[in-house]
Amino acid sequence: MTMMTANNGVNVQALLDAREALKGAPEAAKFTWRASCKWQNGTHSSTNVEGFFGLGEEQKHKTESSFSADHPEIFASEDKGITPVEYLLVGLASCLTAGVAAVAQNRGIQLRSVESKVAGKMDIRGILGIDSDVRNGYDDIKVTFTIDADASKADIEAIVAQSQKRSAVYDVITNPVNVTVEVV
Amino acid sequence: MTMMTANNGVNVQALLDAREALKGAPEAAKFTWRASCKWQNGTHSSTNVEGFFGLGEEQKHKTESSFSADHPEIFASEDKGITPVEYLLVGLASCLTAGVAAVAQNRGIQLRSVESKVAGKMDIRGILGIDSDVRNGYDDIKVTFTIDADASKADIEAIVAQSQKRSAVYDVITNPVNVTVEVV
C-alpha cells in the first residue's frame, strides 16, 4: 500500500515554525502593508504596491504591481479599471481561498479545485447622497464556495469555517478598523 | 478677462442628474458587484471581475480583469501576486481619490496632482493564531494625501473630508458589513 500525502502547495510546516518563532518575538510580527496611489484623470487612478515592512525590516514583493481603478461608463466615467469596491471583493475571495488551501493542507486533505463567487450588495443612493439613512458601502456580501476535495461535505465546511475564522480580510470587512486620513 | 473653468475629467452634471433620477427610482439604485475566484496552487488564486448588476439590469465592464493574489516569500509562498490585505488598500486609496476628483469638480476647483500613501498596520500573531487577543485584520490604516490644486490648504482638506464622508470603501473598512460564507 502507498500512503498518499495531501499536497496543496502550502508549506504548512514553515507556517507552524513561524508561529513558534513569533511567539517569543512579538515585535517581528508587526507588519505594515502599503500602497501608493496617483490620480490620473476623472475617477481614474493607478495604485502601486511593492514594499512592506515585517519581521523587523523592509521587505519587497518580487515585482511591483500597478492597479487601475475607475468608475464604469454608466456613471459617465471611462471604465479604465474595476471600481474601488470591487477590489474589496478581490481581497475577500483571495484571502478566504488562501486560507482554505492552508487549512486543508494542515488537515491532510487534498484539494482538487476551489472556486468561489462573491456578490456584494450596495444601494448607491448612499454614495450619491440621496438618503442619509442609506450607507455608502456594502449592505451585505455573500461568498459561495464550490470545492472539490478528498473530504466529506462536513469536513469541507469545517475547512471553510476555519479559513473564515483566521481571515484578515474577513475581519476587516466584518469589524470596524480605525482609518485616519490626512493632507500634508 | 477669461473665465477659467475647472476640468478634472469628472462629469459632475451626469452624477447630479443620476441623483435626481434615482430619487424617484430606488430599485434602480440597487447594485450588486461581483467577483469569481479560482484557487491556483498553494496560497495563489486568480480573481476575475467583469459583470455587475445595476440600474435594473446586468451590466459589464469594458473588459474582464483578472487579479492574482498570493502570500510573499517570507511566508514560504511564491509571491505570485500582492496579498489579499493589500487589495483592501488599493480599494481604499482609489475610492478616496475618485471622490477627491469628483468633489473638487463639483466645487469648481482645478486639481493638478493627487497622490496618496496608504499604510495599514497588522500584527500577524492574529492570523497565525498565536494570541486570541490580537485581531486578524488591520489595527489601523493611515492615508496621507499630497494634493496640488488651485485652492487653499483649508479648501483641499474640506474636499478630502467630503470624499471620505461619501466613500463606499471607507465605510466598509471603518464600519461592520455582514458577510455570509457558504459551501454549495
Tell me the pLDDT tens digit for each residue of A100-156: 999 999 999 999 999 999 999 999 999 999 999 999 999 999 999 999 999 999 999
Rounded-to-integer distance, Cα B15 and Cα A74, Å = 10
Cell (9 digits) for A9: 502547495
* For range B62-87, the mean pLDDT: 97
Rounded-to-integer distance, Cα B84 and Cα B35, Å = 14
Which of chain A's residues have a Cβ under 8 Å away from the Cβ of B59? 72, 74
Nearest-Cα distance to chain A for B25, in Å, is 10
Instruction: Tell me, yes or no, if B179 comes closer than 8 A to chain A by beta carbon.
Output: yes
pLDDT digits (tens, 9 = 90+) for B85-108: 999 999 999 999 999 999 999 999
Whether A1 shows a pLDDT value over 60: the answer reads no
pLDDT digits (tens, 9 = 90+) for A166-181: 999 999 999 999 999 9
* For range B33-60, the mean pLDDT: 98
- Contact yes or no for B179 and A170 at CB 8 A: yes
Rounded-to-integer distance, Cα B172 and Cα B83, Å = 19
**Residue positions counted in chain A:** 184
| pLDDT band, residue B4 (cuts 50/70/90) | low
First-to-last alpha carbon distance for chain B, in angstroms, is 67
Rounded-to-integer distance, Cα A180 and Cα B138, Å = 13
Interface A-B, measured as beta-carbon pairs within 8 A, has a size of: 463
Please report the pLDDT score of residue B127 as a whole number.
95
Whether A3 shows a pLDDT value over 90: the answer reads no
CB contacts under 8 A, B 23-42 vs A, are: 23, 26, 29-39, 41-42
Residue B74 has its nearest CB partner, among A55, A76, A180, at A55
Rounded-to-integer distance, Cα B183 and Cα A153, Å = 8
Surface-to-core class of residue B75, CB atoms within 10 Å of its CB (0-12 exposed, 13-18 middle, 19+ buried): buried
Nearest-Cα distance to chain A for B133, in Å, is 13
Cell (9 digits) for A55: 519581521
pLDDT digits (tens, 9 = 90+) for A62-96: 999 999 999 999 999 999 999 999 999 999 999 99
Tell me which chain B residue has its CA closest to the CA of residue A84. B91
Q: DSSP H helical segments within chain B, as ranges?
A: 12-23, 84-106, 153-165, 168-174
pLDDT digits (tens, 9 = 90+) for B99-135: 999 999 999 999 999 999 999 999 999 999 999 999 9
Instruction: Tell me, yes or no, if A93 comes closer than 8 A to chain B by beta carbon.
Output: yes
Q: At what angle do helices B12-23 and B84-106 cross, to 10 degrees?
A: 100
Which of chain A's residues have a Cβ under 8 Å away from the Cβ of B133? none
Instruction: Tell me, yes or no, if A158 comes closer than 8 A to chain B by beta carbon.
Output: no
| Contacting residues for B91 by C-beta, under 8 A, at least 6 apart | A69, A84, A85, A86, A87, A88, A91, B169
- Contact yes or no for B137 and A31 at CB 8 A: no
Radius of gyration of chain B (CA): 20
First-to-last alpha carbon distance for chain A, in angstroms, is 67
Which of chain B's residues have a Cβ under 8 Å away from the Cβ of A176? 174-176
The overall average pLDDT reported for chain B is: 96
